[in-house]
Amino acid sequence: MANFQFFDAFAGNLGAGNINLDTDNFAAVLSNTAFNPSSAEEIGDITQISAGNGYTTGGVPLTGVSWGQAAPGIWQWDANDFGWTATGGSLTFRYIVVYDADTDKLVGYWDAGTQVTIVNGFQFTVEVGANGIFRIGPGTLS
Amino acid sequence: MVKNRSGDDERTKLIAELRAERKKIKQRMLQDKEKVRELSAQLRDLEGKPDKSGRSQTRFRMTSSRA
C-alpha cells in the first residue's frame, strides 16, 4: 500500500482556485532527490530524474481524472493507472510527484521509502486503488 | 471626529464599482468553466476507467514489458 502525501501548499492553492481537481490537466513525475513538502509549491521546486531511458521531463499525463462524491461528505480524486517503462537503460527514483500541469502547482506525492530502479525492459505502474488517489472528508477539514 | 461625507460616498461608490466589475468577470469565468466541464466529461469518456475491483488502496507494480 502506498500513502499519498500532500504538499503544504496544496490546500491553499485549492482554495485560491489555482488547482481545479475536476477539470485541470495533471501529470506525474519521478524524482530521486529529497524535497521539502512544507516549502515546495510548484513543479520547478522538484528535481526530476534525468530525461531518457523512457523518462520525459514533465512526466506522464494522468488520464481519467475525476473529482466526485464517493459517499456522503466524502470526496474522491481519482485517475487511471499510470507508469513508466525503462527503455535503453534503467530509471532510478524514490518519489512520484503529482502536479497540476495547467498551473504547475504541486498536489502531492508517494514516497517509495527507498530507491526504486526500473530495469531496462521493465514497466513500473502506479495502480490507483478503488479509493482513488485521495479522499477528503469532514474529518480532514477540521 | 468630523465625518467626511464626500470621502465616504466616493469610497462606497468605488466599492460598488469594484464589486460589479468582479461580478462581471466571474460570470465570464463561470461560462468558461461550464465549457471546460463539458470538455472534461468528454475526455473522461474517451479515456475510460480501469477495473479497480480487488484493490481499494493504491499500489505499485513492476512487470517485465518483454513478457
Average pLDDT over residues A82-93: 98
Residues of A in contact with B29 (CB under 8 A): none
CA dist B46 and B42 (Å) reads: 6
Domain boundaries, chain A: 5-131
What pLDDT shows up at residue A26?
97
Label each residue of B17-33 as H, E or C.
Answer: HHHHHHHHHHHHHHHHH
Q: Residue-wise over A36-68: b if at least 16 C-beta within 10 A, else e?
A: ebeebbbbebbebbeeebbbeeebeebbbbbbe
First and final C-alpha spacing in chain B:
85
Please say if the pLDDT value at position B51 is more than 90: no
Query: A6-15, A31-40, A91-100, B40-49: which has the minimum mean pLDDT?
Result: B40-49
Reported as a pLDDT band with limits 50, 70 and 90, residue A141 is low
Please say if the pLDDT value at position A22 is more than 90: yes
A122–chain B Cβ distance below 8 A for any pair: yes
Please say if the pLDDT value at position B67 is more than 70: no
The answer to whether the Cβ–Cβ distance between B64 and A118 falls below 8 Å is no
What pLDDT shows up at residue B53?
82
- How confident is the model over A26-73, as pLDDT tens digits? 999 999 999 999 999 999 999 999 999 999 999 999 999 999 999 999
CA dist B35 and B23 (Å) reads: 19
CA dist A78 and A117 (Å) reads: 26
Residues of B in contact with A80 (CB under 8 A): 47-50
Report the complex ipTM: 0.91
In the numeric block, the cell 499519498 is attached to A4
Cβ atoms within 10 Å, residue A109: 23
Give the closest of A80, A124, A130 to B60, CB-based: A124
Q: Chain A closest CA to B30's CA: distance in Å?
A: 13
Q: Chain A closest CA to B16's CA: distance in Å?
A: 23
Residues of A in contact with B38 (CB under 8 A): none
A121 secondary structure, DSSP code: T
